[in-house]
Amino acid sequence: MSAHRPRTINRAALIVRPKQPYVDWANSVDDDGPRAILQELRTDPSIYLVETIDLLEAVDLLIDDTWEWIFREQLNGWMRDADLWPEGLTREMFLDWFDCELSTMIWDMLKPRIKPAF
């Protein structure tokens, strides 16, 4: 029986952490709901697997291609009623509300192949 050898995968990770404007919005939409706490949200960021491209240009290009989908997904994660989302979402607003960083070394430490969750 051969030992499992971890391997890199052909994806990069776009790591998205909320900033204070997201927390301010989240805490304004539902007085009876849970309270967003910045440090808690930043400790467990959302990670999106994206194509691997040159690091020097990668984050800006990836944000250009994905900001709107990620922004809507982040809003939906807190409040499913889109009528309560902020109006006029823009790339600049996304960058005001979220920090983004890229990691290009993604290691799959498990033996079974990655499968879609649904």
Report pTM. Answer: 0.85
Contacts with 94 (C-beta within 8 Å, 6 or more apart), sequence order? 63, 67, 68, 70, 71
Give the residue among 60, 34, 62, 61 at the shortest CA–CA distance from 48. 62
Q: Which amino acid does the sequence have at 76?
A: N
pLDDT in tens, 87-112: 999 999 999 999 999 888 888 888 88
Structural domain boundaries in the chain = 8-108
pLDDT of the residue at 58 = 67
pLDDT in tens, 48-72: 998 887 665 667 888 999 999 999 9
- Residue 28 half-sphere exposure toward CB, CA atoms < 13 A: 10
pLDDT in tens, 17-28: 999 999 999 999
